[in-house]
Structure 1
Amino acid sequence: MMKDEDMQIFGHALQETPASPKPVTLESFQKEVMEASLSRPVLVDFWASWCAPCRQLAPLLEKAVNEEQETFSLVTINVDEEPEIAQQLRIQSLPTVLAFVKGQPVDGFTGLLSFQELKAFLAKLKDMIPHSSEALLGKGEEKLEKNESTEALQIFTEVLMKEPQNLRGLAGMVRGYLQQGDLVKAKGYYTLIPSSEQEHELVKALKKSIELAEQGQQAGDLSEICQSLEQDPLNHDKRLVLAKALFAQGQSQQAVEELLTILTYDFQWKDQQARTELLNFMEALGPSHSVVINARKRLSTLVFI
């Protein structure tokens, strides 16, 4: 039975929910559920538009998950639109919620629960979360992707307290301080990486990031560069300098945008210097970075224009 407090949540408090759960399709299931659950538990809410209990459960579940401060991810699957997933997972009643950890369904429930029952379910699920460095590292890397370097550094510090030579932990510290524009601390953590790891692709990418940051620090006053570009948008030399400086400050998305702007105006400029620099940025960020994935798509489009 739903209590009065649950109905209040349903009617009013949930209007301030930070973000809506992401709808998942058959095409995105692997990424949004299987792969995402490697770093944090993913709750999958199976629903249908004609299901009244589904509509009642959705805001309660969303509120309960949001109160856990990013401990869980919440996604939804409309069984009428994605019957293949429902069939594969043997969903027979609605609403049904399944919890995935490390790519496997580990728990779940069917039917409408009260808010307090949902909180109890999440508390039980927390005990099943592997509190390993792997999970923390994944969370820290997510923070870096969002440019939340302060939170990321706290997470990587926690990892390094237990495992001082953890490569991903050290790499996270380097990237976090580069994102904050603190080249000294970034280089300090780079020196802590064991010599035996110097040929690792991750370490090579870090070295490239530090080199780019050093170049970017020589850019000078960015406000003057921006003002100059407002007067002369085709000054590609200035825009290249700006891109390097932005990258050095951890503003990788904006840095890439500046290089793509040059390539849009003149792809062949100075023997494709902007393209070469863009490839350097992509190498430093790593192939799985969202900025790199988007840049690769846009670059391929420009090549064929």
Structure 2
Amino acid sequence: MTDPTPAAALRGGVDLSSLRQRANQPPAAPTIPAGADSGPALVFDVTDDTFPQVLELSRTVPVVVDLWAEWCGPCKQLGPILEKVVTEYAGRLVLAKVDVDANPQLAQGFRAQSIPMVVALVAGQPVPLFNGAVPEPQVREVFEQLLQLAGQHGVTGTVPMPSASASGDDAEPAEPAMPPLHQEAFDAIEAGEYPRAAAAYEQALAENPRDADALAGLGQVRLLTRVADADLQAARAAAAASPADIDAQLLVADLDLAGGHVDDAFGRLLDLFAVLPTDERAPVRERLLELFGVVGDADPRVTRARGRLSSLLF
């Protein structure tokens, strides 16, 4: 995980030149979604085609860019934190969300080798922020530093806060409340208190062993806990030096999956499972099943990996 601190000055950590060239062309898609006051929304999706408008917006207000994917468990933990904190800044920041699977040019332009990846745009220039899921207090600290940096470059505007519709018919339905233990786990994750989050999910499963959301959440929290202080380079070196070291291989697989390299993580564990004696396979199988839950059973990569695991078992 990179140090979650904005650069002291604007720097070209990513290459946006090919996408910036689109700014001189008529947009092929609608502009940034508008709020109720006809200004940009505080949180919106951005695509390869609408990115030039985001660059232009960054000359008025700092734009936080969240590069994520549907299959990425840590992305789902970080996304709500980013949205919450950006909204609390009341228009001094906006959040542009980029689905890297649907927008490969943006993913390439930002050099997104792992996700979640969070960068900022200030006056059209990229400012690297951090990679990986970080707790809410660190997000707030980084955003404060980003606003200071933006101020140094004259980017001090705001966007209007979307107002609620006066008509009850136009109001969006409220999202259903989380079950209490799920809410407790979510709040703990936002605070970076992973053991408390795990305990809440475990209690939810004790009360209802078929609670699929709690099972997936527990897997994500355990993954975040394992990789929180891990050094990717050191972990890879240890795994390369000791191919039969199960713990070393498990850690690299965790880091790969947390960084978005799903096939690499599954492939490493399946290769290890294939060469281990039968009586040593249990930890690898358990980790695979947990990571399948993190990614989601509907993902085709999970389907392929499950098929290979079954063939190795029988």
Normalised-by-shorter TM-score class: 0.3 to 0.5
Structure-1-length-normalised TM-score? 0.39
Structure label with greater radius of gyration: 1
Larger relative contact order, structure 1 or 2 (CA cutoff 8 Å, min sep 6): 2
